[in-house]
Structure 1
């Protein structure tokens, strides 16, 4: 039996077979299509009851048409069996209310800055984004802005080496999707006029660029 304090691997999370949930950036995330405010509020109320009962509290984004729930064990900075248990209970509540989930729309945006000075820049970006420095990176506990991380120059690993650009690009988007959504998201980008720059690290990430040459990464928890 898994220790409730033990951080689970991405494989262990997938093997839990949580149909409504996907792992994104070290968190479990689900999107419930409530369709209207009253239905969403009813679901949020029920989630609040089970969260209090289990003494484990999710993040909730509540809009007119959706309830998006995020689960993470902050004490270990990752997913534990506590999150799996609460995810199952929340899915049961949604099923009782006949609310469907939509894993295809689950996404998380992260900003990556190419620099070797990240730790020194962290206080600036924490102040700019209204957060605080956590483990050397800006963090916003309220979830209002994307997370920011530093990608240091490193040409030693050929797997991650990318073709040179004719101009310097310092910022890039890391768009996180579930393990089973990466290829679909990549195809959507290509269909929209984007170009695949590199798939050498797939399925961990694909590097794509827009028509103007600006690069971004489509990232998944797979292959890490």
Structure 2
């Protein structure tokens, strides 16, 4: 089933103000306030997911529940994710549970490689991650950051070849960048803004701050 939608289509829909598209997944965090209340909310999410035949990743903590929606058959977000996000947000509202959108983000490690097929197996072996496609490794337990391999051509000199990718909702990006600059960082490249900015710490180590894409970012 190819019901893939763009992040712009997702964010334009009604009932998804709790959510941000981070990398290729719609993500929301809800402030439940207690483990018992969070468990009850997770049970309701499970009921909705079973009814829809579409199942999210759910992280239950003492005072929060984080929900991540992603359609594995198309490796992106879909109409199914949109419908379930709307249902989950409505369930949260019915239970009096508010979304906690401040600081919402997702992290992945990016490795620039001249020969990805040669480099990737090393990282797969040492991390115990599973391979996803030609250039991604995923934590089989869904807890650690993804590792993404980016083709480097020509070879890079004078800059690091491993960096962090930080995906944030578009509304969060300016504050994150301002805070990083105030903490001694610098902007290395903003040619691709507002899709992403490349920042560096005072010693030159880099991070890409990526906001959710709109149709012009495809």
Matched, 1:12 2:9: yes
> How much does 1:154 deviate?
4.1
Mapped pair 1:212 → 2:211:
no
- Superposed counterparts of 1:30-109, under 5 Å: 30-109=28-107
Counterparts of 1:118 and 1:47, CA distance in 2: 39
Contact 2:56–2:68 (Cα < 8 Å) also in 1: yes
Q: State the alpha-carbon separation in 1 of the partners of residues 159 and 150 from structure 2.
A: 14
Match of 1:145, SS? coil
Aligned equivalents of 1:89, 1:147: Cα separation in 2: 27
d(CA) in 1 for partners of 2:18, 2:186: 31
In structure 1, what is the equivalent of residue 191 of structure 2?
Answer: 200
Q: 1-side partners of 2:140 and 2:102: how far apart?
A: 25
User: Equivalent residue for 1:173?
Assistant: 164
Q: Alignment partner of 1:88: what SS?
A: helix
Taking structure 1 as the reference length, what is the TM-score of the superposition? 0.88
**Greater RCO structure (CA 8 Å; 6+ sep):** 2
Deviations 1:25-54 (A, max 9, x none): 111100001111111111111111111111
Deviations 1:164-213 (A, max 9, x none): 97x44121001111122211211121122211222111011111111122
Structure 2 residue aligned with 1:111: 109
Q: Is the deviation greater in 64-73 or in 128-137?
A: 128-137
TM-score between both structures, scaled by the size of structure 2: 0.91
Pairwise CA RMSD: 1.7
Residue 56 of structure 1: how far off its partner (Å): 0.8
* Counterpart position of 1:144: 143
> Which of 200, 215, 221 is the matching residue for 2:212?
221
For 2:33 and 2:101, the matched residues in 1 are separated by: 16
Please, which runs of 5 or more residues in structure 1 have no aligned partner?
Answer: 156-163
Q: Which runs of 5+ in 2 are unaligned?
A: none
